[in-house]
Chains A and B, each alone.
Chain A
């Protein structure tokens, strides 16, 4: 694995740990903030025959404080999830951009999009979308990429894609690539796209 990807991997491990630690700390603080100013109960009549201690405990749980607390925690989880979904660790993004720029140089426009995605515009309305996945769950594969071409209409597309080691999904040439295959297989994908657009 490339040195930059190794750095990215340790950065990713580290940032998950830091995020977890921060989450625990913030969780404790939020808990204090929401329950210390006094309990704002949602007025309901407790059924008779329940000991008053139980009723008071129930009032603490069934209150606007709890609603606010749950809202705050879910907001935290949402922000963390978004952050994980949206951004690649910086060295991995540098690696990907370096590979793509080395491959296409100034002949194509390469855009970085939110959600660990890249788009290579190769001109004439055709493009390649690349999505990076940091870790395949249940495997020891890090940084795999899914590459998808733009829609191409050609009756021989399936055959062309297969001959370049890829498959077709919704008129797009698609394939998953390991980080060490990104360069070589993107060359093949570009070749397949060229053949598909030029041949009848």
Chain B
């Protein structure tokens, strides 16, 4: 592994371990299902969130999109499409390794989406 990749891997680990459970689960789930986007309700199902999906928006999701970790497109006033920001310098790398090595996890996430 070359120097640059090692540094990126270090920074991805640092970033992921600095986030709390909910945020980490969101980023991981979205990285696996990229390039798909999901609605708030689907997202709360993906991460096993017990609260209302509306309360996710106001706190967690709005802060994540402020930090440019995720992108939120407003389809209609009540329906949002949430996806990972694959142009982010670190998440680009995360999405890449998830695509390469995360086929099984991706299947599990997609099953959760279909149910």
Contact = CB atoms under 8 A, between A and B. Distances in A.
Interface of A: 136-141, 144, 159, 162-167, 175-176, 178, 180-181, 184-185, 187-188
A185 B66 contact: no
A167 B63 CA distance: 10
B11 interface: yes
A167 B65 CA distance: 10
Given A162-B68, A163-B89, A181 B63 contact: no
B77 interface: no
Contacts of B66: 167, 175-176
A167 B58 contact: no
Contact of B19 (A137, A139, A181): A181
B98 to A, nearest CB: 17
A178 B22 CA distance: 10
Contacts of B89: 159, 162-163
Interface of B: 11, 14-15, 17-21, 23, 51, 54-56, 58-60, 63, 66-69, 88-90
Nearest to A146: B63
A159 to B, nearest CB: 6
B55 A188 contact: no
Contacts of A137: 58
Contacts of B68: 162, 167
A159 B8 CA distance: 13
Contacts of B67: 162, 165-167, 175
B19 A165 contact: yes
A139 B18 contact: no
A163 B58 CA distance: 24
A140 B90 contact: no
User: Shortest 10 CB-CB distances between A and B: which pairs?
Assistant: A184-B18, A139-B59, A139-B55, A176-B63, A141-B59, A136-B59, A138-B58, A165-B15, A185-B18, A180-B20
Given A163-B89, A166-B67, A167-B66, A188 B15 contact: yes
Given A141-B59, A162-B68, A167-B67, 17 more contacts: A136-B58, A137-B58, A138-B54, A138-B55, A140-B51, A162-B89, A162-B90, A165-B19, A165-B67, A167-B68, A175-B63, A176-B66, A181-B19, A181-B20, A184-B17, A184-B18, A188-B14
Contacts of B19: 165, 181, 184-185
Contacts of A178: 20, 23
A141 B19 CA distance: 15
A144 B90 contact: no
